[in-house]
Amino acid sequence: MPAVVDWTNGVTEASREVEWFQPELKEVPAIAKQIFRDYSRLVDDDIIGHIHRVRDAAWKILPYPCIGCFRFLDFPACISPAYPEVIERAKAGETLLDLGCGLGQDIRKLIYDGAPAENLIGADSESAFHSLGYELFKDRDTLKARLITSDVFADDFLEEFRGKVDIVFMGSFLHLFTFDQQITIMKQVSRLLRHKSGSMIFGRHMAISDAGGTFKTNAIGWSLYYHSPDTFQKLLDGASEERWELSTNLIPYSSASSTVSDSAMTWQKGDHVKQMYFTAKLQLSG
């Protein structure tokens, strides 16, 4: 297994003087407002302040752009072209894993849209994100989904769920790792998925239209891997002997929230940088 990644790179406190930290959220996106009103039972006047308190705490843990830019309020799973199928399959009783779930926003959106919470699993290496998710959505005593702290590179990663997961969501997750590390991750995912045609992975990550590669950010020292449709197909082929039916959609790097500032969306330096929505399904012969 690969060595443990040192996310902090020796930095003990994340700077807010970066392009991807937005100091103020002036308006809550419509989807998020619905969740906080109807699911979390917050009144409108309290929502923005509540989001700020949790976001600022999350920034101190890991200063991801999706935290600094409030992009977790996009609820990215529901933006995927695959989401209508995903929600119907979840309602029908299939098991879904949100890998690298962060604050667990997509778990809550799935529940809000009618997915049985008992069939949902969220996994993240940072237990503090689970705690902040409970605080953000006010459901520590009511959430029935399973939130698990686990290292995706551990030999026993989610061992109890091997062969029992139908759908895996990976939102802004794979691009945090090198290609070789992603091979290891996808092998873990393959162990978790039911060995049947139609078992699915879907999600989004940073991408470009030509050859994939890496670049170094100046946040806390990690590299991001930019996929292309070709490199993502190579990833699937390299991690599994099974055949995958892959569809991808490259769109401009942006946020569903009109309140995210333009400067916060241009830190990746270049219009050639996109975000890729992807869906891949196992296709077994016989």
- Quote the CA–CA distance of 78 and 211 in Å, as a whole number: 28
For the segment 19-53, what is each residue's pLDDT rounded down to a tens digit?
A: 778 899 988 999 999 999 999 999 999 999 999 99
Number of compact structural domains in the chain: 1
Burial of 52 (C-beta count, 10 Å sphere; 0-12/13-18/19+): middle
Query: 90 in a domain, yes or no?
Result: yes
Report the CATH number that the domain containing residue 216 is assigned in CATH: 3.40.50.150
Query: 202 in a domain, yes or no?
Result: yes
- Quote the CA–CA distance of 7 and 151 in Å, as a whole number: 13
Lookup: tokens for 29: 């996106």
Query: In 3D, which of 69, 102, 110 has the Cα closest to residue 253?
Result: 69
Is the pLDDT assigned to residue 76 strictly greater than 60? yes
Query: 185 in a domain, yes or no?
Result: yes
* DSSP symbol at 3: P
More confident residue, 222 or 244: 244
For the segment 47-64, what is each residue's pLDDT rounded down to a tens digit?
A: 999 999 999 999 988 888
For the segment 124-183, what is each residue's pLDDT rounded down to a tens digit?
A: 999 999 999 999 999 999 999 999 999 999 999 999 999 999 999 999 899 888 899 999
For the segment 176-230, what is each residue's pLDDT rounded down to a tens digit?
A: 888 999 999 999 999 999 999 999 999 998 887 777 777 666 555 567 888 888 8
- Quote the CA–CA distance of 141 and 135 in Å, as a whole number: 11
Predicted structure pTM score: 0.90
Query: 2 in a domain, yes or no?
Result: no
Contact 108, 39 (CB under 8 A): yes
Query: 3 in a domain, yes or no?
Result: no
Is the pLDDT assigned to residue 279 strictly greater than 70? yes
More confident residue, 163 or 261: 163
pLDDT for 272 equals 64
Mean predicted lDDT score pLDDT of the chain: 87
pLDDT for 269 equals 54
The residue type at 172: S
* Structural domain span for residue 100: 30-283
Query: 137 in a domain, yes or no?
Result: yes
Q: For 72-99, what is the mean pLDDT?
A: 96
Which of 185-207 are b and which e, b meaning 16 or more Cβ less than 10 Å from the residue's Cβ? Answer: bbebbbbbbbeeebbbbbbbbbb
Query: 213 in a domain, yes or no?
Result: yes
Query: 10 in a domain, yes or no?
Result: no
